[in-house]
Amino acid sequence: MNSEFIKAAKKQKTNHVPVWYMRQAGRYQPEYMKIREKYSLFEITHHPEVCVEVTRLPVEQLGVDAAILFADIMTPLPSIGVNVELTSGVGPVIDSPIHTRADIERLGELHPEQDVPYILDAIRLLREQLEVPLIGFAGAPFTLASYMVEGRPSRDYHKTKALMYSDPQGWKILMDKLGDMTIAYLKAQINAGAQAIQVFDSWVGTLNNEAYHTYIAPVMHRIVSEIKSTYDVPIILFGVGASHLITEWNQLPVDVIGLDWRMTFDKARRLGVNKALQGNLEPSLLLAPWEVIEENVKRILDEGMKEPGFIFNLGHGVFPEVKVETLQRLTAFIHEYTAK
């Protein structure tokens, strides 16, 4: 078993810098596109053997040091009464968005073994087959709420913030319910065999520090503490454009902070961040000539390797225009450059 990823997440010394990529399974892979001709994204996740195949594909193709379960942050929402469709070219679309206190109160509870057995079956199968650790994941309450309230991807999150600021009590009920869902979902994933967890709070960077502290930090604290009090499984927290929240994040009992490309590791350390760090190559660079990629990657590696506790990743997900060969070359380069 290759456990360099787990060691780095626990800030232990590694033989090389471990690497994986957000969205490492997806539309940039011809093999994935072939599977998508037959199955929608949610159909893939409802068929454990197909989900296993898609999850394993980048591990075998790229040689990365961790697998991430193939699912979506929207996966548990239908079970609590939120119907989601993944619309091509748009993203997640919700048929009846949350607007009122009654909408919030109507949300149900997640019972993972009954509601998402296919996810847990996929995890169990993956654990029998994988030789790298398996990362389970969930969306964080703010990011999930942003889709549930806006009804679709948004740039400004006005409706979500309006609810948060004008009905703080209703907002708290919403965060508590999504917090409960996330705790149940993550515990079930860990019980099924997930060896690390990434919590995606992709869009929380739209809030300032004060709003984060008041409206978000309590539920994040509860989720992470609940998991950490029961399981010795590293937890990674990631968001886009959230560098200003890094000191808030450093106070949560997470193990790893995932940075996007707007902040350097040196700067994060200067701000007092003492967790393991993950990231943070600007994904658009993957379309640049190799020499440009290499120069940027070396800078990240040189900074990241100054302390134990460094996992290489992109600053956000791989996108469809990226070539498989680029990620193969990048993975090999990182392993070679950082080998002891």
Give the residues lining the site for ligand CP3 (CB under 6 A).
22-27, 36, 41, 68, 70, 72-74, 86, 91-92, 137, 153, 200, 202, 240, 317
**Rg of the chain in Å (alpha carbons):** 19
36 is catalytic: yes
72 is catalytic: yes
Pick the closer one to ligand CP3 by CB: 85 or 167: 85
User: How does DSSP assign 258-310, residue by residue?
Assistant: E--TTS-HHHHHHTT--SEEEEEE-GGGGGS-HHHHHHHHHHHHHHHTTSS-E
147 is catalytic: yes
**Pseudo-torsion of CA 49, 122, 138, 56, nearest 10°?**
-60
Q: Which of 72, 103, 115, 180 is catalytic?
A: 72
Pick the closer one to ligand CP3 by CB: 92 or 279: 92
Pick the closer one to ligand CP3 by CB: 253 or 317: 317
Pick the closer one to ligand CP3 by CB: 224 or 237: 237
- Residue 309: which of 108, 10, 4 has the closest Cα? 10
CB of 146 to ligand CP3, least distance (A): 9
CB of 184 to ligand CP3, least distance (A): 18
Q: Which of 21, 23, 103, 115 is catalytic?
A: 23
Q: Which of 21, 28, 32, 147 is catalytic?
A: 147
Burial class (CB in 10 A: 0-12, 13-18, 19+), 329: middle
Pick the closer one to ligand CP3 by CB: 202 or 331: 202
Q: Which of 36, 127, 152, 299 is catalytic?
A: 36
d(CA 43, CA 50): 9
For residue 86, the SS3 value is: strand
d(CA 62, CA 327): 7
How many CB atoms are closer than 10 A to CB 108? 12
CB of 238 to ligand CP3, least distance (A): 7
CB of 77 to ligand CP3, least distance (A): 11
Q: How far is CA 235 from the centre of its chain?
A: 10
Question: Is the peptide bond preceding residue 191 cis, with omega within 30 degrees of 0?
Answer: no
Pick the closer one to ligand CP3 by CB: 23 or 187: 23
CB of 101 to ligand CP3, least distance (A): 26
How many CB atoms are closer than 10 A to CB 209? 12
Tell me the residue number closest to ligand CP3, measured at CB: 202
| In contact, 327 and 62? CB cutoff 8 Å | yes
CB of 267 to ligand CP3, least distance (A): 22
Enumerate the active-site residues.
Answer: 23, 27, 36, 72, 147
